[in-house]
Amino acid sequence: MLVQIREKAREIREEIAQWRHHFHRHPELSHCEFETAATIAQALRDMGYDQVKVGCKGKDICVVADLGQGDKCIALRADIDALAVQEERDVPYRSENDGVMHACGHDAHASMLLGAAKILKGMENDLPGRVRLIFQHAEERGGGAKELVEEGVLEGVDVVFGQHIWSPVPSGSMTYCEGPTMASADMFELKIQGRGGHGSMPHMSVDPVMAACSVVSAWQTIVSREVDPLDAAVISVGEIKSGSVFNAIPDSALIKGTTRTFNQDVRKNIAARMEEVAKAICSAMRCEAEFSYTNMLPPTVTDVDFTRFAVGVAKEVLGEDKVSEARPTMGAEDFSYYLMERPGTFMFLGTGNEGKDMTYPQHHPKYCVDDDVLELGAAMSASVAWAYLNR
């Protein structure tokens, strides 16, 4: 049957590409996916789906559809939102929404899942269970999955499968990780209050810049000296603001950044220790410190058994030599919220193609997807669903 699914995906490859081009031409930001959701819902209804729910938290920005009958159920997820990026690539289906672009491949995810939906609909009478299709909003802002989980999207679901197209991987290949796959992603902010003064008389001021420099350096010792070397962790400062003229000591400084790790205990300890270190150093340097830490996304940790099952399916669909294990990435994904509730896996479908100048990384203004991989993604989702329900 997996061979037949692969053939069915090949037969509708042009339709899948047309869906992607439409979504790419009309990108919408997180929590604004109204037209995208409407297009997906109508496409599903045109296929014959009668269990189509549009919306979450009172806004028609996502779609959930059910297929089949029975107790056993697998959920397939695709994210559908775009990024605030100005497209720089000249393609026939270039974004018509100025300053907004599908620079992360969610247009491909949505179209591939629509392709899988069409394939599975044609097999509905032979499905020994149920498939739930989740076209999720607001992945880029990290809230869509959490909101859907809160609204019960996983009720009655046994396992969940997701995939992400990935430019570092050659087109047509797929990679995976067993267990920790993508990191948590949190945000921190430190406000340091000192007392300003003239640069020629530093003894008359309380310098928040010196305190800021000391804190940033000391934070790195949390990773290098307090985290087990076998537990990866990152503390990155991305923003420092202080002062406006060259010859004056400012009265305050602001530091912002992000932390990443795969371990929830490490995650909690980093947050606590960053605050302790910052306040202690600022106090020693006569400054006041106000620290805030925001948990944004938990780590994405796949179920080992289900991952190995999906890898077996991938090898049949794509070929034994096209599937390989990869190292985890410090990037983050809100698919993590599904995996905190149900076993499942998250895999990476390569779209890197030097011959087509398609090697730009995600979020780049020249990012582009190789249309040749779309049928593979559709076949992969449909095959995992079929194989799981017949397991």
* Residue 140 marked in a binding site: yes
Of 170, 166, 186, 68, the closest CA to residue 121 belongs to 68
Neighbours of 127 (CB within 10 A): 19
Domains in the chain (CATH in brackets) are: 2-182+299-389 (3.40.630.10), 185-296 (3.30.70.360)
8 A C-beta contact, residue 344 and residue 161: yes
The contacts of residue 153 (CB under 8 Å, 6+ apart) are 64, 75, 132, 134
Q: What is the pLDDT of residues 41-88, one digit of tens each?
A: 999 999 999 999 999 999 999 999 999 999 999 999 999 999 999 999
The helix, strand and coil proportions of the chain, stated in percent and rounded to the nearest 5, come to 40, 30, 35
What one-character DSSP code corresponds to residue 83? B
* Residue 104 marked in a binding site: yes
* Residue 363 marked in a binding site: yes
The predicted pLDDT at position 142 comes to 80
Neighbours of 87 (CB within 10 A): 23
| Pairing between β-strand 288-297 and β-strand 174-176 as defined by DSSP bridges | unpaired
* Whole-angstrom distance, CA of residue 339 vs CA of residue 345: 8
Mean pLDDT score, 144-169: 97
Catalytic residues: 81, 139
pLDDT band at 331 (very low <50, low <70, confident <90, very high): very high
Task: For residue 21, give the amino acid letter.
Answer: H
Residue appearing with tokens 């989980």: 149
* Residue 26 marked in a binding site: no
Tell me the pLDDT of the chain averaged across its residues.
97
Mean pLDDT score, 324-345: 97
Q: What is the pLDDT of residues 220-276, one digit of tens each?
A: 999 999 999 999 999 999 999 999 999 999 999 999 999 999 999 999 999 999 999
* Whole-angstrom distance, CA of residue 293 vs CA of residue 188: 4
In terms of pLDDT, which residue wins out, 141 or 251?
251
**Would you say residue 277 has pLDDT above 90?**
yes
